[in-house]
């Protein structure tokens, strides 16, 4: 079962899981929110091929996932949208050897039926537009900061969202005129959001790894192998991700 929690709810949910303990506990996969659609499909396909393994996916911003692991979350696998986050987890001994499994790219996006004229990076600096970015502590915000600095654009930001899916939702609802999200987020809402222009300058790579103390080590290894397999990569490609 796939879940999308805020950090507080994620902590509560994992605390319940840790109290439950037992061999029938599901294999818990912590995944970046930008992987929502791909990992929903991944979970279904994996469980169809492995009916004896129950996968549960918890979604949040990569920095929130790292916090949960630092606090001892009883997870089995983690997949994040930032190599630095995974490098730090590896350096702290939390994960086994990570492997990049997908890439993505930043785009400037606007509502399909938006009334504002949005042309490109310069629109993000327009104080008359409602502009949204991800918060700096999450990967989509870090990447956007880097790319905008390279473009020489100082964004006039009205909201900083805790994860990219929150920002995507606000764009889809027309609550914002323009924002910076991943190409895959636009692909997930083709009737609601349109790509205005690419935002170059960020190398967006997704690493995955089993946790060192995974309660379900064999199942964790099997899920990682599935993500890296031809079938897993096909699911990611269909969701708009690039190869690693």
Binning pLDDT at 50, 70 and 90, where does residue 159 land? very high
Which residue range is the domain that position 42 belongs to? 2-103+205-238
Say whether both 139 and 153 belong to one domain: yes
Q: Would the pLDDT of 4 be above 70?
A: no
Say whether both 97 and 212 belong to one domain: yes
What is 148-203 written as a DSSP string? HHHHT-----SEEESSHHHHHHHHHTTS-SEEEEEHHHHHH-TTTEEEEEE--S--
Say whether both 145 and 82 belong to one domain: no
pTM: 0.85
Binning pLDDT at 50, 70 and 90, where does residue 25 land? confident
Query: Is there a domain that residue 244 lies in?
Result: no
Q: What's the pLDDT at 24? A: 67
Specify the number of domains making up the chain: 2
E strand segments, the chain: 2-4, 27-32, 55-60, 77-79, 99-104, 106-111, 131-134, 159-161, 178-182, 193-198, 204-210
180 CB-near residues (< 8 Å, 6+ apart): 106, 107, 108, 109, 124, 132, 133, 134, 140, 144, 147, 148, 167, 199
Say whether both 231 and 152 belong to one domain: no
Q: Would the pLDDT of 1 be above 90?
A: no
Q: What's the pLDDT at 31? A: 97
């Amino acid at each position: 079962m796939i879940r999308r929690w805020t950090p507080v709810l994620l902590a509560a949910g994992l605390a319940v899981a840790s109290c439950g303990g037992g061999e029938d506990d599901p294999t818990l996969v912590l995944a970046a929110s930008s992987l929502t659609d791909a990992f929903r499909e991944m979970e279904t396909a994996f469980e169809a091929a492995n009916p004896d393994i129950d996968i549960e996916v918890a979604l949040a911003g990569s920095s929130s996932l790292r916090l949960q692991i630092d606090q001892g979350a009883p997870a089995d696998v983690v997949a994040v949208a930032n190599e630095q986050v995974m490098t730090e987890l590896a350096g702290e001994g939390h994960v086994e050897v990570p492997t990049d499994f997908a890439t993505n790219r930043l785009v400037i996006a606007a509502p399909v039926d938006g009334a504002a004229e949005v042309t490109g990076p310069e629109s993000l600096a327009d104080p008359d537009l409602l502009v949204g970015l991800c918060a700096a502590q999450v990967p989509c915000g870090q990447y956007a900061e880097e790319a905008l600095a390279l473009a020489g654009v100082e964004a006039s930001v009205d909201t900083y969202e805790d994860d990219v899916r929150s920002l995507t939702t606000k764009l889809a609802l027309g609550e914002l005129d323009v924002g910076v999200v991943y190409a895959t987020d636009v692909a997930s809402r083709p009737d609601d959001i349109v790509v205005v222009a690419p935002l170059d300058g960020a190398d967006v790579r997704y690493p995955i790894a089993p946790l060192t103390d995974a309660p379900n080590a064999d199942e964790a290894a099997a899920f990682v192998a599935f993500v890296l397999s031809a079938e897993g990569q096909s699911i990611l490609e269909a969701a708009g991700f690039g190869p690693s």
